[in-house]
Structure 1
Amino acid sequence: MSTPLPSSSHLVLIPSYNSGAKVYETVTQARAQWNPVWVVVDGSTDGTTAVLQDMAAQDAGLRVIALPHNQGKGAAVLHGLDRAAQQGFTHALCMDSDGQHPAHLIPSFMQCSQATPAAMVLGVPVFDASAPALRVKGRKISNWWANLETLWAGIGDSLYGFRVYPVEPLRAVMQSQRWMRRFDFDPEAAVRLCWRGVPPINLPAPVKYLQAHEGGVSHFNYRRDNLLLSWMHFRLMVGFVLRLPVLIAGKLGRSNARGA
């Protein structure tokens, strides 16, 4: 198999926290599709950091950034984005480390981003029988709120973390406030980027929910994380109301431009 040529603009960014051995498979599959791949280890205590660093020592296309303690997915992503911006990267494809996301689609998502660099490319999950019904139904609520908060700007799925973001707009959004550091990162990123005029492009992407015997690891806590999402949507609705005149004007302007 040929090694992908390095990109100077687009990188794969994988935040990882206690994902177990599945992270090695995820990183290997991502590297087979793209160069470079960065892993931000978010204070993992499962022994994976040392192994990932050994992998990086033998692979110039792989970089491992180890944070001293767990800060949350969004915080880990922001740390990686800051480093990426310093090195001139303009876009980052974020994916989870637990094997749920389709590494084989990295090239097609990157190609879409390269063709439309002003946009964010959002994965829309295609579920199979392994998907828990409660989570499939529950995300519809978050999706409805996210689309209301953006006047139906076209967010196909607010929670799926397989996405290509433009680096600078996302950094600006995150540095302007203290939220988006944990499980609230993905939906709030999509909404706030829409508010900044970053259009979403939706592409279907399968998602796998792995069982424990398959190496699956989940840190999702129904009570804690649903409370976090509820607080997030309350904050976003306040921001939505304050921005409503601007959002309406922008939507009317786009409609008039299409009709001209």
Structure 2
Amino acid sequence: MTSHQVTRPKSAPLPSPVEAPTATHLVLIPSYNPGPKVFETVRAARHQWMPVWVVVDGSTDGSTDGLRRMAEEDPGLRVIVLPQNSGKGAAVLHGIEQAAKQGFTHVLTMDSDGQHPAELIPDFMAASAAQPDTMVLGLPVFDASAPALRVRGRKLSNWWANLETLWMGIGDSLFGFRVYPIAPLAQVMHGQRWMRRFDFDPEAVVRMAWLGVRPVNLPAPVKYFRVDEGGVSHFNYARDNLLLTWMHTRLFCGFLVRLPMLLARRFRSSRR
């Protein structure tokens, strides 16, 4: 949506945001041409957590100006603007690099289009704080709004992700509502040139599992909005499924190389 300019209604104030910042965990929202739902998403996230960062990934729909105005009114919100669209993974990488410089150790990532449950941010952050060496993954709970083709299709990606990690317990490889420890995420992203676009979420969990970062799965409802409800989707079935196929081909080759290590780890774990 490049021609329609998205503006935030001046009459929509921030709803009683959390005022006490945390020094370790932040909410990171990558955003590219998200439509008006982005303002609801950011307000809802700030209502639950502080700080919240939005990384604008070269948006051209006018949402950047509205987000900047929100940040001017809210010290708990930071907006980082990238000059051109580079993909979700690239936006997250830029955000975690900046977060690490400020001493943060964990980020909760969520989409900017309103699909993810902001009300569960405190629960996911608490689970991460209780087990900081894990990655806390959202396990999507779909309702009738979810496209059946996408619900069925993700089962294949989940099967491959679990095979590639020797069934370490990845509940869902594609759902982007999750808490990552920053150091291992940055390590796997700096280690290769992939994970910059739609392939970010599934490849991140597989590669972090290879490092020994254990997944913790928590259920989370997901909502798909129609166009008339303000929903925006950049998913392209042909392009993105080809990208996932190439990603799993690469990961499977990496899995074969790491299979002795994964088997040894599984053996040690079973003996404890």
What is the TM-score when the length of structure 1 is the normalising length?
0.98
Kindly indicate whether the alpha-carbon contact (under 8 Å) linking 1:158 and 1:187 is maintained by their aligned counterparts in 2: yes
How far apart are the structure 2 equivalents of 1:89 and 1:132? 36
How far apart are the structure 1 equivalents of 2:130 and 2:199? 29
Kindly indicate whether the alpha-carbon contact (under 8 Å) linking 2:17 and 2:48 is maintained by their aligned counterparts in 1: no
Note the C-alpha offset of 1:3: 2.6
How far apart are the structure 2 equivalents of 1:109 and 1:224? 32
Q: Name the structure 2 match of 1:161.
A: 176
Note the C-alpha offset of 1:18: 0.1
Q: Which runs of 4+ in 1 moved over 6 A?
A: none
Q: Name the structure 1 match of 2:85.
A: 70
How far apart are the structure 2 equivalents of 1:254 and 1:24? 45
The answer to whether structure 1 residue 133 and structure 2 residue 148 are counterparts is: yes
Kindly indicate whether the alpha-carbon contact (under 8 Å) linking 1:122 and 1:202 is maintained by their aligned counterparts in 2: yes
Note the C-alpha offset of 1:151: 0.3
CA deviation profile, 1:62-82 (whole Å, cap 9, x unmatched): 000000000000000000000
Note the C-alpha offset of 1:2: 6.1
CA deviation profile, 1:87-116 (whole Å, cap 9, x unmatched): 000000000000000000000000000000
Q: Name the structure 1 match of 2:186.
A: 171
Q: Name the structure 1 match of 2:96.
A: 81
How far apart are the structure 2 equivalents of 1:92 and 1:120? 10
The DSSP-based 3-state class of the residue aligned with 1:112 is helix
How far apart are the structure 1 equivalents of 2:60 and 2:195? 23
The answer to whether structure 1 residue 212 and structure 2 residue 227 are counterparts is: yes
Note the C-alpha offset of 1:20: 1.2
**Structure 2 residue runs without a partner (length 5+):** 1-15
Identity within the alignment, %: 70
Q: Name the structure 2 match of 1:98.
A: 113
Letter in 2 for 1:84: A
Kindly indicate whether the alpha-carbon contact (under 8 Å) linking 1:149 and 1:191 is maintained by their aligned counterparts in 2: yes
Q: Name the structure 2 match of 1:256.
A: 271
Q: Name the structure 2 match of 1:37.
A: 52
Note the C-alpha offset of 1:5: 1.2
Question: How many residues were matched structurally?
Answer: 257
CA deviation profile, 1:140-166 (whole Å, cap 9, x unmatched): 000000000000000000000000000
Letter in 2 for 1:208: K
**Structure 1 residue runs without a partner (length 5+):** none
